[in-house]
A = this chain, B = another copy of it.
Amino acid sequence: MTGKEDISFFFNPKSIAIIGASPTPGKVGYNVLNNITDSGYSGRVYPINPKADTLKEIGGYKAFKNVLEVSESIDIAIFVIPGKIVLSVAEECGQKKIKGLIVITAGFKEIGVEGVKRENELIQIAQKYNMRIIGPNCLGFIGLNYNGSFASDTPKKGNIAMISQSGAFLTAFMDYSMEQPYGFSCNISLGNKADMDSVDFIEYLVDDPDTKVILCYLESIENGRKFLEVVSKATRKKPIIILKSGVSEAGARAASSHTGALVGSDIAYELAFEKCGVLRAQSIEDLFDYGEIFLCQPIPHENAFAIITNAGGPGIVATDHFEREKIKFARFSEPILHLLREKLPPEAAIFNPVDLIGDAPPDRYRFAIETIFGLKRGKYDIIINDDDITTHGALILMSPQAQTHPDDVASLILELSSSYLADKPIVCAFLGEKSVKKARQFLKQNGVPCYSFPERAARSLKALINRSEYLNSKSLKGIELPKFDVNKERVKEIINNARDDGRTVLLSHETSAIFECYGIKSPKSRLAKTPRKAMEIQRELGKSVMKIVSPQIIHKTDVGGLILNIEKQEQAFEAYIQIVDNSKRFGPQNVKIYGVEVQEMIDFNQEKKINELIIGMSRDAQFGPLIMIGSGGIYANFLKDVAFALSYKFTREDAMEMLQKTKIFSLLQGVRGESPSDIEAILDVLLKLSQLVNEFPEIMELDINPLLSFTKSYSAVDIKITISRE
């Protein structure tokens, strides 16, 4: 059920059956039918009720015992019947060729084993008849044409599409919005997401002319790959803002007990949202503030803003919030500074933030706004060129003082913003309540977000800036991914051998071989099963390091299972015995020992710069391989200097970006006169690794620690690969 399908019947159904429609006020089946009528639905309505013969009609519509009795075609059916009869009715709906089911009924996955079974059967019926399902266990669906939910109100119409995994949240959102200036193109309650999920709707809504912004409340995303594919394209067209809950460990627990959904680790969600340009709301307030500003204010071309204030203190607080949100101050050009200096009172601050001081009348606000945006250039005998206009948006502050006229200032801000600032966002913070409430409401109602305090204003501006930067970034659509020549057959063979052997952790000589197949350099390595064999191998490899080989021993040094600097054959003999002995004494009980690995010891010149890196991969249940790089060595777990990326469409730029997020990056660049490490080679390793784990989903986990990085080249010294059992 993936791929773009027509689901417009949910949005514009020609006819709706309400299965379980009831004439009794207070019943859900009554509320739904009532909502459909009240919301002005103009299509055909069929109340379905087993007592149809007695009732004759429900809510003014002729009632039917079942959908098969209806002679005309039916587009969608809304289920408000007990869980146990949902399956048989769904079967009838299929026979009736109904296109979509909105299953409000609960009693599915969320109630445990029995419910999971029922939900799976429902999915099978839907697949058989090619029906789509919203829910089950949801509030319903509200579009521009009808309210097919049991919500107590029908929200205002407008251009925000709201998708929620929680019905209660949707109700609260709608209730909240009743007193906000915006309305909705649709309110969708996902319920258990047996079939239709957020991605299906996003895919549809991105081409829906009534939708300008998409807001989602999500607790989980099941098909991460589909999400990445669809949403990375959708965000190019419309802003998508997601409040993803279950961020914390405890939250994730609560989420999984709530919806039975598999909640992925938050880092993967964070990376996925970043990768495909989703703006993440950190709170419910963010979700609404972002929705509002995208609806009414333009995306700025650059991160260069002004603060205009009539009081110093609020200006400083706003400045703090600008820095916190990394909003940059526009640097005013000389002609603009000149004008400000000339026309503002001497006590005013003309550098950004502009302080018009406490006695600022509306005209002073007007002058400042016109000047920094270069609106009335002809008015003054000073030449202002296009290049002199460096401000791309503004936060306008007002605190109520003796000379302040909040209503007049609000009017002129609206006038200037709507007439002249088509691509420069304006937000306001009018501090206080009693004297500014009216002005604030006026601005808000007319599309200029106005807050009580500067903090939210700064956050909203930042959301616009983030989107601007995203739209200026390269689309994932056109990117070319590097593809290395590799030996996949040999890798497959090694993996199969290990599986035949009943192992999921590969041995060191196997990991080296796999890396060789993908062109990643690692030291030569052989497995010795006797002290004598170790001697022979040492003779071949020269200076060596010897390590215990046991699937049960992860940290070899912890059990004395690693000896360095084996320069002579006799040492190799003794080392073998000692390592096996140590591992038996300090390792787990009845440890399984495959032998001892003799590995060529990197012969690097002591003068050369060496850095120890850790590189790893683990698989996220939703979003697939997650690549990690950071400071390596035996203290890697303590330094916690690591960065992550999804390996989805993982480019050289992505690799560089993640590397730059680590602290060790500055050391790799070469500090205090040292030569830099071979950073390009490290990027190659990351890209090759990404290709490897994408081509072999059998690889569950992979760790290189350390990867030694030199001024030229590198060596992946210690590699661990875990494969799936089958």
Q: Footprint of B on A, CB under 8 Å?
A: 28, 31, 111, 150, 152-153, 164-169, 171-180, 217, 219, 243, 245-251, 254-255, 257-259, 283-285, 310-317, 319-324, 329, 347, 349, 351, 353, 355, 358, 399-402, 431-437, 452-455, 555, 557-558, 634-635, 637-640, 663, 666-667, 671-673
Contacts and interface: CB of A to CB of B under 8 A. Distances in A.
Given A313-B245, A455-B284, A639-B663, A434 B401 contact: no
Given A167-B358, A175-B434, A179-B434, 20 more contacts: A150-B402, A169-B431, A171-B400, A172-B311, A172-B399, A172-B400, A173-B432, A176-B434, A245-B313, A245-B316, A248-B324, A250-B329, A251-B317, A254-B312, A254-B319, A257-B351, A258-B313, A258-B316, A285-B452, A637-B671
Given A433-B175, A667-B638, A402 B152 contact: yes
Contact of A635 (B166, B634, B667): B667
Contacts of A431: 169, 172, 175-176, 284
A667 B633 CA distance: 13
B634 A663 contact: no
A555 B247 CA distance: 45
24 contacts: A31-B402, A111-B347, A152-B400, A166-B311, A167-B311, A175-B434, A176-B432, A176-B433, A176-B452, A178-B433, A179-B434, A246-B319, A248-B324, A254-B316, A254-B319, A255-B316, A257-B351, A258-B313, A258-B355, A283-B453, A284-B317, A555-B672, A634-B672, A635-B671
A640 B219 CA distance: 36
Nearest to A664: B638
A274 to B, nearest CB: 19
A601 to B, nearest CB: 18
A313 B638 contact: no
B321 A171 contact: no
Given A434-B153, A640-B663, A663-B638, A557 B312 contact: no
A28 B401 CA distance: 12
A254 B354 CA distance: 10
Q: Which of A168, A324, A349, A663 has the most CB of B within 10 A?
A: A168
A286 B63 CA distance: 56
Nearest to A253: B319
Given A254-B353, A455-B284, A672-B557, A172 B314 contact: yes
Contact of A638 (B153, B247, B666): B666
A324 B672 CA distance: 39
Contact of A432 (B171, B257, B310, B673): B171
B175 A436 contact: yes
A454 B254 CA distance: 16
Contacts of A436: 175
Contact of A313 (B169, B247, B315): B169
B399 A319 contact: no
Tell me how many chains of this kind the complex includes: 2
Given A284-B453, A639-B663, A671-B635, A171 B250 contact: no
A455 B288 CA distance: 14
A403 to B, nearest CB: 10
A263 B250 CA distance: 40
Nearest to A174: B432
Contact of A250 (B246, B323, B454): B323
A156 to B, nearest CB: 11
Q: Which of A167, A245, A437 has the most CB of B within 10 A?
A: A245
A289 to B, nearest CB: 11
A625 to B, nearest CB: 26
B250 A322 contact: yes
A279 to B, nearest CB: 17
Contact of A168 (B150, B249, B312, B673): B312
A217 B317 CA distance: 10
A638 B641 CA distance: 12
Contacts of A672: 555, 557-558, 634
A416 to B, nearest CB: 23
Contacts of A243: 317
A313 to B, nearest CB: 3
Contacts of A671: 635, 637-638
Given A255-B316, A402-B31, A434-B179, A285 B455 contact: yes
9 residue pairs, one from A and one from B, having the closest CB atoms:
A166-B313, A168-B311, A175-B432, A248-B323, A172-B431, A258-B312, A169-B313, A172-B399, A251-B320
A435 B179 CA distance: 11
Contact of A319 (B171, B248, B358): B248
Q: Which of A180, A285, A432 has the most CB of B within 10 A?
A: A432
A312 B178 contact: no
Contacts of A310: 168
Contacts of A169: 311, 313-314, 399, 431
A268 to B, nearest CB: 16
A651 to B, nearest CB: 27
Contacts of A311: 166-169, 172
A316 B251 contact: yes
B435 A245 contact: no
Q: Which of A171, A172, A245, A323 has the most CB of B within 10 A?
A: A172
A165 B219 CA distance: 44
A588 to B, nearest CB: 15
B168 A358 contact: yes
Given A283-B455, A285-B453, A455-B284, A314 B248 contact: no
A317 B247 CA distance: 8
Contact of A248 (B254, B320, B353): B320
A718 to B, nearest CB: 14
A265 to B, nearest CB: 14
A413 B258 CA distance: 25
A354 to B, nearest CB: 11
Q: Which of A31, A319, A351, A671 has the most CB of B within 10 A?
A: A319
Contacts of A248: 319-320, 322-324
Contacts of A399: 168-169, 171-172
A447 B436 CA distance: 25
A31 to B, nearest CB: 7
Nearest to A255: B316
A294 B181 CA distance: 34
Contacts of A312: 166, 168, 254, 258-259
